[in-house]
Amino acid sequence: KRKNPSGNENLNKDFCDFLMELADYEKNVSRNIHKFNAYKKAASVLASQSKRIESGEEAKKLNGIGEKISKKIDEFLHTGKLRKLENIHQDENAQALSLLTRVSGIGPVKAADLLNMGIKTLEDLRNNKNQLNHHQLIGLKYFEDFEKKIPRSEIHEIETIITSEIRNLDPRYTITICGSYRRGKLESGDIDALITHPSFKLDNEKRKDHNKLLKSIVTALNDLITDTISMGDTKFMGVCRLSNEHPFRRLDIRLIPNEQYYCAVLYFTGSDVFNKEMRTHALENGFTLNEYSLRPIGVTGVPGEEVQITSEEEIFDYINYPYKKPEERNM
């Protein structure tokens, strides 16, 4: 529906850039999730246009762009900047919060706590390590590397290694690298790996029969994985590195019960804006969709039993949504 025919080229990139900067400000400084979502949605709608938007009025006709954002587009077109962003750039505290939240593991609330203690820079963080948890310490240690995008070819190499190592453990393992990589992006921020196994079922999971599976996977990836941020029964968060010549990369591995695999693959493929649209569409068609399951909503409004799903396409079918290939979900 909103496919940009020219592929990756974005004729409205300058608008998208300022909208994303405003979105980050709302998330990390104002902590206004509604405004954050509104700016992100507007940026995604503009990015999907196959023509350059020439005025606020024209932008306002698009789904997801209202009065306020169309005025900003006009201001930007007329003056080449935005007073709101100029003011934010002058605001030292806003700049500090923006910087602190770039550290993996530091969210807006933690950043505000740190700022209240007078901690504003990476150097301040290094001098106050006692204020940071294990995740945040790793985020600080690898700050520069985690800001670097991961080329597609490097993720492909990592995918090949993980695939061969887990198949070595058991050939029936299935792996899907999701996130922006699966959407065909040439660069990604991190690596989101989902793994399942035919014998890893929901009821088994409740009995915790499988609590050693993920540990054995992580152990098998010993040469690749350099740090563990957190390690649960089904979720590993950590750091990997392809070789000494490569940067350190954020890697998440999730072990998903068989029945939930396709809902999880769909969810973790994103994009987040696409997920929101798909969930809304599901609701309009009488279903509730999340990263675990698809369930019909009965006349009483109570979700029923999970629908059995054996492919991503089935999820689209059930909710009457035209199938979109992962590369078409970049919104």
Rounded CA-CA distance 189/247 in Å is 12
- The verdict on whether 72 is a catalytic residue reads yes
Binding at 261: pick from Mg ion, Mn ion, ligand DCP, none (beta carbon under 5-8 Å per type): none
Angstrom CA distances, 298 to 23, 284, 303, 304, 305, stand at 36, 13, 6, 6, 10
CB of 245 to Mg ion, least distance (A): 22
Q: Judged by CB under 6 A, which of 4, 98, 104, 275 binds ligand DCP?
A: 275
How many chain residues bind ligand DCP (CB under 6 A)?
12
Q: Does 192 interact with Mg ion (rule: CB under 5 A)?
A: yes
Pairing of strands 174-177, 150-151: unpaired
Rounded CA-CA distance 111/255 in Å is 31
Name the E strands within 160-266: 174-177, 187-188, 191-196, 225-231, 235-240, 249-255
Residue nearest to ligand DCP (CB): 270
Q: Does 192 interact with Mn ion (rule: CB under 5 A)?
A: yes
Binding at 275: pick from ligand DCP, Mg ion, Mn ion, none (beta carbon under 5-8 Å per type): ligand DCP
* Residue of 41, 72, 120, 185 marked active site: 72
Rounded CA-CA distance 243/221 in Å is 13
Rounded CA-CA distance 140/1 in Å is 41
Residue (125 or 155) nearer to ligand DCP, CB: 155
Residue (227 or 277) nearer to ligand DCP, CB: 277
Rounded CA-CA distance 328/187 in Å is 16
- 254-273: which residues touch ligand DCP (CB under 6 A)? 267-268, 270-272
* Among 95-103, 187-195, 240-248, 307-315, the segment contacting ligand DCP (CB under 6 A): 187-195
Q: Does 277 interact with Mn ion (rule: CB under 5 A)?
A: no
Name residue 196's beta-bridge partners.
174
Residue (100 or 155) nearer to Mn ion, CB: 155
Mention every residue, 6+ apart, whose C-beta is less than 8 A from residue 280.
none
Q: Does 259 interact with Mn ion (rule: CB under 5 A)?
A: no
Mention every residue, 6+ apart, whose C-beta is less than 8 A from residue 105.
132, 133, 135, 136, 138, 139, 229
Rounded CA-CA distance 19/42 in Å is 7
Q: Judged by CB under 6 A, which of 64, 139, 179, 326 binds ligand DCP?
A: 179
Q: Judged by CB under 5 A, which of 56, 64, 105, 179 binds Mg ion?
A: 179
Rounded CA-CA distance 275/27 in Å is 19
Q: Does 190 interact with Mn ion (rule: CB under 5 A)?
A: yes
- Chain positions contacting ligand DCP, by CB under 6 A: 179-180, 188-190, 192, 267-268, 270-272, 275
- Chain positions contacting Mg ion, by CB under 5 A: 179, 190, 192
- Chain positions contacting Mn ion, by CB under 5 A: 190, 192
Q: Which residues are catalytic?
A: 72
